[in-house]
Chains A and B, each alone.
Chain A
Amino acid sequence: MTKEKKYWKGLSELNNDPIVEKLAQNEFSEEIPVNEFLGDSDLGSGSTSRRDFLKFLGFSTAAATLASCETPIQKVIPYVVKPEEVIPGVANYYATTIYDGHDFASVLVKTREGRPIKIDPNKTALNARIQSSVLSLYDSGRLRNPMKAGVDSDWETVDADIISKLNEIKDKGGNIALLTSTIISPTTEKLITDFSAKYGNVKHIQMDAVSYSGMLDANASTFGVRALPTYYFDKAEVIVSFGADFLGNWGSSDYAADYAFGRNPKNEKMSKHYQVESTLTLTGSNADDRIQIKPSEQAGLLSDLYNALNGGTADSRISKMVSALKSANSSIVVCNSNDSEVQTLVNAINNTLGNYENTLTLSSPSYLKKGNDTDVATLVSDMNAGNIDALITYNVNPSYTLVNADEFNTGLTKVGLKVSTSLYMDETAINMDYVCPDNHNLESWGDAKSSHGFYTLMQPTINPLFKGRQFQDSLLTWSGNPKKYYDYIKDHYMNDEDDKEQPGLDLISNEADWNKKLHDGFFTIDDTEDQFADQMKKERKEVSPPKEHPFKSSSSDYIEFEVSEKISMGNGSQSNNPWLQELPDPLSRACWDNYLTMSATTARALGIKNWNVSNGALNGSMVNITVDGKTLENVPVMIQPGQANGSVSMAVGYGRKNAGKCGDGVGINAYPLLNGGVANITIIEGIHHEFAATQLHHTMMGRDMIVKEASLTDYIKDNKAGNHTELYHTHDGPKKASEVSLWDEFDHTTGHFWNLSIDLTSCIGCAACVISCHAENNVAVVGKEEVRKSRDMHWLRIDRYFSSEMTEERSAEEKISAIDMYAKMEDPSEKPDVVFQPVMCQHCNHAPCETVCPVAATTHGTEGQNHMAYNRCVGTRYCANNCPYKVRRFNWFQYSDNDKFDYNMNDDYGKMVLNPDVVVRSRGVIEKCSMCIQKIQEIKLEAKKDGTKVKDEKAQTACSSACPTNALVFGDVNDETSEIQKMKKDDRAYQLLEHLNVAPSVFYQTKIRNKA
């Protein structure tokens, strides 16, 4: 039996039939009938019928189609080894510094999973441009490689070339020029000294696109310190500004907080602000008294002011101001002039008023501006004379910003070695032999000394996105220094005992101290004995105005031109930033444009018009303007209330040719007319310009309850001045709207009740909150055409109203009919009072939007917010119609991943700025302010984790955290300790359109003006 097989498949196997053996050799016991359906050449005789053939065909087509239908590949790269400090979903904050040669700020950068997504203030206030710089980081238009003669190259080649050429120049004793923006980094200054030491004849020239040279020179000559004074706007009782837009673009962005602090009517004291200017600036629009002059009258008036303060008589226009200055204990006089003699006069005025060491000081000055016009002029003439052998530029774009850019460009052709370190192939870089792209601030190490004794550190918050290299590292390489700039900075601050050659400053004692200071982002040196203090005291006595200066005004017949700066675009360096391009100007409310601003009277005289077309959009006449022999053609004109008659102005920062996809061709370059002068304007008939403005109607139409205001004197008498609630007449006597409600509402007495207070006195209209909101909430950019169709997506807008000459009182007095009255009310006054009113979703507790949505996509939260469920929204837009504040925004198109909206959301780099906590809305849904619910949720979760109550100081919305003047206060009114609770009880608090009884969670504080 042992030979017997245990298992067998059939009898033939059991019996060891040879056929079994034979078949076992084959893979298949039966032959597969492949030939039957494939091999048979004669289909007719095959067993594959026509029907089978069609089945095969159908199957294979379907299979092939299915196989080709791959899911689109989304690049998600998971952490293989998770970095210790990164927890997905939890933001990390890094303290660093932003300085682009124009704006300076000490900031906190919020990063998510290694991506910087938002910039919050750290030690200084932030303006809109600083807020936006996080998007500029992700600009896909940045250079990806070093360039040699306009083509991509690599660092080895470029460095070798540059070093050998620099050595050649050094050997023959040639001149090397280093043209940079103002350098406020002490380490970079040292590095430049090192570089100069290595190559001999190196001239370091600093320039500011909009120059402060005159003021710096004046300070240098009177005080021996070439710097800006540090101002204390909070200490001044009277503030006088001659054209200086210190709340917008002039000097440092840090003045606003002090200014607002000094104008807090709570203290029953409020500074009085006079602005003497021709172009309406943000600062001018906040002034209590604004005097409109022509640019050429400025010097004369200042001289008048000086004489009046010294016993003379003043021009009638400034007589009130003079007496206010005389009677004030403290004051500040500032001026935007770039003429050193005028600035010397201003210094003399401040000295007469005893302001030095009181409201402004040069003993601990500010270093934010160092540009020198004379040096730049010398450089350009040297270049043209062929005396410059190498030019290295850093952080400047002279071919665009210089008045004599043509001359500069001609000179450039005579320079042997031309190196730009620009991040972009900009107007200057395109003329250079080598472009060695710098890194963005957020990718760089660095330091800054913005004012005396105040140091900040800069640390990278992301690995460099492209193959750029920090300018300082380039300079180190070219100087033959093997160190990295990071080590160089540390060495500079730490006293490295081993390195006898380069002893440090000893400002940072050790590694731990370095880490701490890096963590804080800033440190101060407490030297009360200022280096300049003694000098100041001595010099101050001798300040006197220049004697025989011909301060003359031009004839009144001329129209004078001056340039201005917009808070969005500044000097134009961030021109490719779509957030900034779409940020409406606070005064004209137009975006994606610059234009000539002109008063209505001047425009009428020239036959220039602005008009609204059938969809409301604004059109304007176009002109050619010639100033000082230079002509700008096809310039659109915007009629701007507040522009002095006989003067026109235009913002710089536009008309870029090599900025990138968003900035190219937007507006007209006004830099060639930087110096201003008498303008010759000719209207071009037959063509017009199309503006994109987010606000088309400029007055309040007599609806005084929108922005309630009162004068300081009235406010002191009665804190409720200007803030009277409208009452309804009922059978039961007059009642407030809230008392006649039919509404069943949530009980808001327990739990959280989030409210937002907006102080219209403190709000200066700077729009930092608007950009902060964009960054936090992924607000889409829609482009000029769509804005023109009134389809901007801004969740937060800053309404600006001008006063009108026509009022209800006047019409009653003069017996003007209602129709005429309203028609005249539409025209703003040419000398308007200006108010700014930030408006976002008011989070009504009786929300009109919520009741009308058929699908309940917008509903009320128990904590007072009005929620929006995008997934549920079908897009009937009924809610938007029924919103009395018109704050709801509809996604008219798909704004992300759409080539027609080629801004940051249609770009793999640009999309990196998106906040992962906030969904990117699809087309067809309504969106609006959520009161930053994601931020509230975050602090609630944190508190829950810690087992504590939510701390009021942690509760912030994007707008409230960005506000430099603390005009926006957010918090839980049910928290007894909160500031918001005090604000809600304040006599100045009122709700917008209170009579509708929609019960908003957002409320305003009346605007107080220091008017007689």
Chain B
Amino acid sequence: MHKESEIRDPLILGNKTYHDISRDISRPVEGKANKYWWILFSLSAALMLWGFACMAYTIGTGIGAWGLNKTVNWAWDITNFVWWIGIGHAGTLISAVLLLFRQKWRMSINRSAEAMTIFGVAQAALFPLIHMGRPWLAYYVFPIPNQFGSLWVNFNSPLLWDVFAISTYFSVSVVFWYIGLIPDFAMIRDRMSSKVAPMKKQLYSLLSFGWSGKAKHWQRFEEVSLVLAGLATPLVFSVHSIVSMDFATSVIPGWHTTIFPPYFVLGALFSGFAMVETLLIIMRKVVSLESYITIKHIEYMNVIILLTGSLVGTAYITELFMSWYSGVEFEQYAFLNRATGPYWWAYAIMMTCNVLTPQLYWIGAIRKSFVWTFVLSIFVNIGMWFERFVIIVTSLHRDYLPSAWTMFSPSFIDIGIFLGTIGFFFTLFLLYSRTFPVIAQAELKTILKSSGSEYKNKK
């Protein structure tokens, strides 16, 4: 009796050969950009410049250029900060945690997801800087030996923990990403002709650190990747936990909540995967990577979104329950006001986009559709932005003493800066997609034949 084991679905479509992969991955770097790229790039660059102008205006005149006031001292600035930091998390999860769990499907997307992490964290890092009243003194937040006597930073402050958490996260992510890039840079270097593009070739030679593909190199590469993955994994959980402590350690009702660390981490993964989807669905079209980023990848990520989205929803309901159960009238009012007060619409957007719409992924057809996924990923991005807005603004605008209660409304500078960071992010990402190997091809080649379907088809 002939029993044929079930053939796994291939992770790479289109019967690619090793050479095909090299060619496909190097194409965006070697060739000219297409029309879509130029359109997107111009748009993003314009937005970025507008954002920079708004930042310059803020630094030139004062934080008063924003819509903040004596009661609501943080709004879009910290909302954007937390949002961007959260987005970064998926990248680290994909490249580090999924590596440790040996999830091979990550290989097509980890490079871009990690690029997204780095670019996202860069956007996030802008906000703590520009939200300062005196950003030119930002170095005060670093524990630098100084001539001010024994003046030291305040290690009790969650903002200081943020400084360490973000800088650690950023540096580990960059190193991890770069290590992975070395063999791929080497591949590009090797393909380049020193006659056609001598400068480029020299550049990629520099970037590839003299990689020659020796067995020893590969061995070290694997070991370092594993070690860095081990280092990066706790960061996935620590960074957003620490960010959440900005709120959790305070005395403000709606902020002072012990559920925040896990709740923020889940929210971060949730929003991060949504952003990965948004980006990859665009990228696979713009740089023609349809064979590598397949509906299979999208479906896996949708499952994670469904899971994290449901967990985030549970956290929202837990918060409501706890506020009622606490018996503290300030807590009760804070959450009642969140849901039914003047910012009820923000709460409704948050609930809809984060809790309700991801439930559509229970339906297979939606889970396996690029169009639906794209639309829903945008919903999640919006929803998660509003989650942070709701937490920050609705808690602050009505806290303890009703005499201080007021509202917040963004100025056009607030909006400009946020759009500017989106432009900046996409500008970086688009530049990356034209100069970097956007898929970890060296790794990818290891799974080219893992499904066996090719062998079967040949027969």
Q: Which residues of A contact B (CB under 8 A)?
A: 612-616, 695-703, 706, 786, 789-792, 797, 799-801, 818-819, 822, 837, 839, 848, 851-856, 872-878, 880-882, 884-886, 888-894, 922-926, 992-993, 996, 998
Contacts and interface: CB of A to CB of B under 8 A. Distances in A.
A854 to B, nearest CB: 4
Given A696-B405, A703-B402, A853-B157, 15 more contacts: A614-B409, A616-B408, A700-B402, A706-B402, A786-B64, A790-B69, A791-B69, A855-B153, A855-B154, A881-B396, A885-B404, A922-B134, A923-B134, A924-B133, A925-B134
Contacts of B404: 695, 885-886
A302 B76 CA distance: 59
A851 B156 contact: yes
Contact of A884 (B68, B340, B399): B399
Interface in B385-424: 396-409
A699 B333 CA distance: 14
Closest 9 CB pairs of A and B: A875-B133, A924-B133, A892-B64, A616-B407, A615-B409, A790-B69, A886-B404, A799-B403, A616-B406
Given A891-B133, A892-B63, A923-B62, A882 B151 contact: no
A695 B404 CA distance: 6
Interface stretch (B226-234, B245-253, B266-274, B443-451): B245-253
A692 to B, nearest CB: 12
B371 interface: no
B71 A790 contact: yes
A790 B70 CA distance: 6
Contact of B69 (A612, A615, A893, A998): A615
Contact of A818 (B70, B135, B151, B336): B336
A212 B63 CA distance: 50
Interface stretch (B158-166, B179-187, B286-294): B158-166
Contacts of B69: 615-616, 789-791
Contacts of A893: 61-62, 64
Contacts of B303: none
27 contacts: A615-B406, A616-B408, A697-B402, A703-B329, A706-B401, A786-B64, A789-B69, A797-B403, A799-B401, A852-B157, A853-B159, A854-B160, A856-B154, A873-B133, A874-B135, A874-B137, A876-B128, A877-B74, A877-B131, A878-B74, A886-B399, A890-B73, A892-B62, A892-B68, A923-B133, A924-B63, A996-B400
Nearest to B67: A615
Given A854-B153, A878-B159, A818 B401 contact: no
Nearest to A894: B62
Interface in B50-81: 61-64, 67-71, 73-74
Given A613-B409, A852-B250, A924-B62, A839 B401 contact: yes
A882 B251 contact: yes
A789 B410 CA distance: 11
Given A616-B406, A702-B329, A882 B62 contact: no
B143 to A, nearest CB: 10
Contact of B141 (A696, A818, A874, A889): A874
A935 B287 CA distance: 70
A851 B151 CA distance: 16
Nearest to B156: A851
Contacts, number: 188
Nearest to A886: B404
A700 B70 CA distance: 19
B205 interface: no
B121 to A, nearest CB: 19
B399 to A, nearest CB: 7
Given A819-B340, A852-B249, A882-B251, A875 B401 contact: no
Contacts of A818: 332, 336
Contacts of B132: 874-876, 924
B44 to A, nearest CB: 29
A615 B355 CA distance: 28
Nearest to B400: A884
Contacts of A992: 401
Contacts of B153: 854-856
Given A701-B402, A848-B250, A925 B140 contact: no
Contact of B151 (A800, A822, A872, A885): A872
Interface residues of B, number: 57
Nearest to A702: B329
B131 A876 contact: yes
B282 interface: no
A851 B70 contact: no
B221 interface: no
A853 B154 contact: yes
B372 interface: no
Contacts of A876: 128, 131-133, 159
B175 interface: no
B112 to A, nearest CB: 33
A721 B403 CA distance: 25
Contacts of A799: 401, 403
A695 B403 contact: yes
A889 B70 contact: yes
B138 interface: yes
A998 B251 contact: yes
A696 B406 contact: yes
B142 to A, nearest CB: 10
Contacts of B67: 615, 789
Contacts of A614: 407, 409
Contacts of B330: 703
Contacts of A699: 402
Nearest to B398: A697
B209 interface: no
Contacts of B133: 873-877, 890-891, 923-926
B321 interface: no
Contact of A856 (B138, B152, B158, B409): B152
A1006 to B, nearest CB: 17
Nearest to B73: A877
A700 B330 CA distance: 12
A819 B251 CA distance: 24
B459 to A, nearest CB: 66
Contacts of B396: 881
A875 B251 contact: no
Contacts of A839: 401, 403
B403 A882 contact: no
Contacts of A996: 251, 400
Nearest to B59: A924
Contacts of A697: 398, 402-403, 405-406
Interface string B308-337: 000000000000000000000110110011
A848 B70 CA distance: 17
Q: Which of B68, B160, B163 gathers the greatest number of chain A CB atoms within 10 Å?
A: B68
A368 B333 CA distance: 51
B262 to A, nearest CB: 22
Contacts of B63: 875, 877, 890, 892, 924
A828 to B, nearest CB: 11
A484 to B, nearest CB: 50
Given A786-B64, A877-B133, A892-B62, A852 B158 contact: yes
A801 B330 CA distance: 18
A614 B407 CA distance: 7
Nearest to A844: B251
Contacts of A848: 250-251
Interface in B102-143: 128, 131-135, 137-138, 140-141
B340 A882 contact: no
B116 to A, nearest CB: 27
A615 B403 contact: no
A162 to B, nearest CB: 50
Nearest to A826: B402
Contacts of B329: 702-703
B390 to A, nearest CB: 15
Interface in B67-98: 67-71, 73-74
Contacts of A822: 333, 336-337
